Structure 1
Amino acid sequence: MTTILRPEDYGATLGAADSTEAFRRLFAEIAKRSRRDPGGDRLQTPVIIDLSGQYTVSGTVSFAAASRTQGITVRGAGKRTSEIVMTGAEPLFTNPDTAMGVRFYDCSFRSTNPKASFLYSTSTGGAQDWGFTNVEWRGRWNYGIGLDGPPEDSNCNSEWFFNNCHVGGSYEKAWLWSGMTPAIKQQDQFLNFSLRDCKVEYDSGDALRFDKGGSINVSGGSWIIKGRRADGQPSRFFHFPAGSHYDSVQSLTVVGTRFEPRDPANLVIDSAWKGQIQFIGCMDDAWAFKDYAKADDYAPHRYTNPGGVRYQGCQLTGRHRLTQTVAPSRQAIVYDQCARTVASRRTRAAFYDLQGAYASSVRISHRDDRDGIT
């Protein structure tokens, strides 16, 4: 039997009054409502947290429980109709290696404090399988979702999905930041992230930052960076910094997504992964009419020592920068039936920005290119 809990029942009030302690009492009650499943693992009694309006929270609310649990659902009446406003300089939620199978539906989260974060999740196996449907983030954040973990077996901040979500606001670090402590090798095993038909239209920062590895699938949606960072540094949809990675966990597949970086400083991708990256049926040409799209230094797709990169049926603007600082191994860069929107970029020499000591060794091939590049 499903239990429905309302923040108002624990002292929360709608509006500007601080309801932090009420939410803490609610989650403490949830932690008590658990039973064991037939397999012996502790299973959270099915609970729905019903958000009926706008609440204000100034401190962290924890998903902590006595042991690993699952079954919590947070449900609202619609984006901005049901909203939690974070005013403090902390994560709104923390998951200390306990909550699995958590679901969020039809609600919004907004920060008025640029030092705030939405969620800090740390794992040694008890934090995985989180899903968001029709959920919105807006306001000013340090980061949105941060996935971390101590050294031992910290490989289960995995299996996350986002359906029809809206990412707005601004982020000092990133909206989704995985592998927050890159020195921990096990964080390369934070895997399997799916984003479907999302509206990623935010002001500045990185959308997805993976300091370690990951397996990421994006399909559909509109992705727009509306502004630029105050310090002039690039904002990026995909940021995969250099570091030690296992080859098997460096995978990005993007299908049918429309990108608008909207500023010459902003990037579609900045990747040092050596795994497989592919864009299929995507476009980034909405702002090709801008003068900067014709400039030699405009390169919204950037790769450093890449492994496998493939663009299939894409419409592309600007240049692609490939920096090769080491002798390439098992490398293949392929463009299949693609087109360059800006006429001045429809030759190999004009389209590629090859840099690094081994730039001449970069292997690039074209198949059925719509601009006739061979």
Structure 2
Amino acid sequence: MDKSKIGRREFLVGVAASIVGLVSGGVLGGRVFTREPALQNVIVESTNQSPSWINVVDFGADPTGVKDSSNAFIRAIRHVENSIAANPASLALGNNTARGRVKLYVPEGCYIIRKPDALMSRTLRKKTLGFVIQGAGRGLTQIYYLNESSGKYLLSNSDAWLGISVSDIEFISKNGKNNFMYSYSEGAAQNYTFERCMWSGNWNYVFRLEGTNNNSEMTWYHCNFSGTVNAALYVPADKGSDQFLNYNFFSCQFEVEEGDYLVLEKGGNVNLWGGSIMHYDETKGGTFFKLKNGSHHGGVERFSCIGARFEHRNKNSKLIECEWNDGTVSFISCDMSSQAFQLEPSVNAIFRSINQKMPTIIFQSCILMGMHEYRYLSRSWATPHNVTYLSCEFAHGLMADQFIVYTMEEQSLEEFSAGRPSIKFLNCRSIHATHETGFYDSDHGYQYNNRAMLTKKVISVKSSFGALPYKGEAETFQLPLGALILNVKFISKPDSVKSQSKAEYWVETSENQPTRIAEVYAEQASHGFTADSNPLFECDTDPKRKLRLCSGSQVDERNAKGLCLIEYIG
């Protein structure tokens, strides 16, 4: 049996009892282990070794939520520190990192802590691998932090502990100035795992990371953040480092009244898989992801969010604010649409070029609401940008020209418009798309960009019968605003229809006086027809992008084999 797994679900009664050398009572006070009939006749020999688990109640902690348990936790943590041992395998590993030897169990109940650093002391300086705090389960074990001094933390790691594991505990704070964990690293502090933990109530920083190196390899499994939070994870620019990286969130819930989820002014390389992310207040909000400061070292500017569900319940709830100058930002198969029915469209995502290139930005197979804003400066044109929306749906029913907002942040230099990124929309659609508005693919903003990689798009237009219109009918369709029509082809092979009547088709605008863009005419429809024209027509107004494929009044047979092909860029 792997003893390291004790406590990840429930303590295994017989195995744990044999390890600790208890049948009843003992160092865990009978709170974890109970005698079962199958174990009544087991003979346990004492080894006079310290137990690998200690129970905070045996150090005087009060699980009723009445008395202050600060000193009990401090005593228990001191016992953990005093149990640190040298690593017998240090020569093989080539380092002298010590090893933790005792795990702290916090049974069910509510424990009041008023003193900071009660769960981890900032005074420890010895580099040590292996720190474990285990609760009985979310909601079952509660730690109620009632510190009244600002700038203090419940846990403080001063570049000492690595390989930290905290599980199955709800942490509650009433004071919005309270902080949960401060981690300072010059290379030691790293590799934290928080599993099935909750942070409820009012918090300032849940995790604040500072130092010069590491503070990396941190993972949160099935954790919850609720209430108000200044920032769940914060790395400041002045005291952080681009050596901070690899933060992973698996199926976590960030469902808060107000606050930011991740604020990274340094460092990065972030992964989120699944989870529920929302601001549930009707007026308060925040920004879920802040990726700040334009210039970073290589290897940290990567952000990936896959399969998460978001709720923006008011205009102050924002998805992301990104200033990175490189790397990648990816949202894949995320849904942000649930509140679109009750909100007017507003900007909820901001990407900024600080006279540098933006990261490669992609939204793939997402349902998006609101608008996305791209901000730039007078020298943003000097480097290429790469922004793509692939197979996305837009919940507010906006077309690309309505969904994207460009903002020049130097108002006195607005003529330098070439810095706005050209944005690709591929296989996208509005949630309210109809047969008239189904064509969404575009290279939006290319007209103003100094370097734009364009792709030709070819569309086919037919009636609801899968044929070219007839008897004077017309098929209405819409191209993206700013599209430039390069070519129009009409094709019908001989004997595609049997009609001996004339064949006449054309494409025109919906202006008050329609502009005919391309046309074809044949004396006898059964003989077939071809027409190939290069109109170079710009769809720069609504009437010019709302087009009609028209048929002449003498067309008396639907032509299912005929084609009208329109090629455009933009």
TM over 0.5: yes
Question: 1:16 matched to which residue of 2?
Answer: 66
* Aligned residues between the structures: 357
- Counterpart among 103, 111, 120 of residue 55 in structure 1: 111
Structure 1 residues not aligned, in runs of 5+: none
Structure 2 residues not aligned, in runs of 5+: 1-18, 20-50, 91-95, 409-413, 431-439, 443-570
- Counterpart among 261, 274, 278 of residue 312 in structure 2: 261
For residue 286 of structure 1, report the CA deviation from its aligned partner: 0.6
| Contact in 1 for aligned 2:52/2:102 (Cα 8 Å) | yes
Question: 2:329 matched to which residue of 1?
Answer: 277
Question: 1:27 matched to which residue of 2?
Answer: 77
Q: 2:181 aligned with 1:119, yes or no?
A: yes
- State the Cα deviation string for residues 152-202 of structure 1 (Å, max 9, x = none): xx211100001111111212x301112x2x135x61111000001111111
Q: Is 99-108 or 356-365 further displaced after alignment? A: 356-365
For residue 228 of structure 1, report the CA deviation from its aligned partner: 6.7
The percent of aligned pairs where both chains have the same amino acid is 27
* Closer/same/farther in 2, CA of residues 78 and 312 from structure 1, 3 Å limit: same
SS across alignment from 1:29: helix
- State the Cα deviation string for residues 65-94 of structure 1 (Å, max 9, x = none): 341112221111111110110011321111
Question: 2:135 matched to which residue of 1?
Answer: 76
Whole-angstrom CA distance in 2 between matches of 1:47 and 1:12: 16
- State the Cα deviation string for residues 184-222 of structure 1 (Å, max 9, x = none): 5x6111100000111111111101111112110001111
Residue identity in the other structure for 1:195: F
* Closer/same/farther in 2, CA of residues 120 and 229 from structure 1, 3 Å limit: farther
| Contact in 1 for aligned 2:167/2:196 (Cα 8 Å) | yes
Question: 1:6 matched to which residue of 2?
Answer: 55
| Contact in 2 for aligned 1:229/1:235 (Cα 8 Å) | no
Question: 2:238 matched to which residue of 1?
Answer: 183
Question: 1:206 matched to which residue of 2?
Answer: 260
Question: 1:130 matched to which residue of 2?
Answer: 192
| Contact in 2 for aligned 1:214/1:249 (Cα 8 Å) | yes
Larger radius of gyration: 2
- Counterpart among 273, 296, 299 of residue 245 in structure 1: 296
RMSD between superposed Cα atoms in Å: 1.8
Residue identity in the other structure for 1:373: D
**TM-score using structure 1 length:** 0.91
| Contact in 1 for aligned 2:295/2:324 (Cα 8 Å) | no
Q: 2:331 aligned with 1:331, yes or no?
A: no
SS across alignment from 1:71: strand
SS across alignment from 2:331: strand
- Counterpart among 362, 370, 376 of residue 318 in structure 1: 370
| Contact in 2 for aligned 1:109/1:137 (Cα 8 Å) | yes
Whole-angstrom CA distance in 2 between matches of 1:258 and 1:58: 36
| Contact in 1 for aligned 2:247/2:270 (Cα 8 Å) | yes
Matches within 5 A, 1:334-349: 334-343=388-397, 345-346=398-399, 348-349=400-401
For residue 33 of structure 1, report the CA deviation from its aligned partner: 0.6
SS across alignment from 1:24: helix
* Closer/same/farther in 2, CA of residues 129 and 215 from structure 1, 3 Å limit: same
- Counterpart among 248, 251, 276 of residue 222 in structure 1: 276
- Counterpart among 139, 148, 162 of residue 100 in structure 1: 162
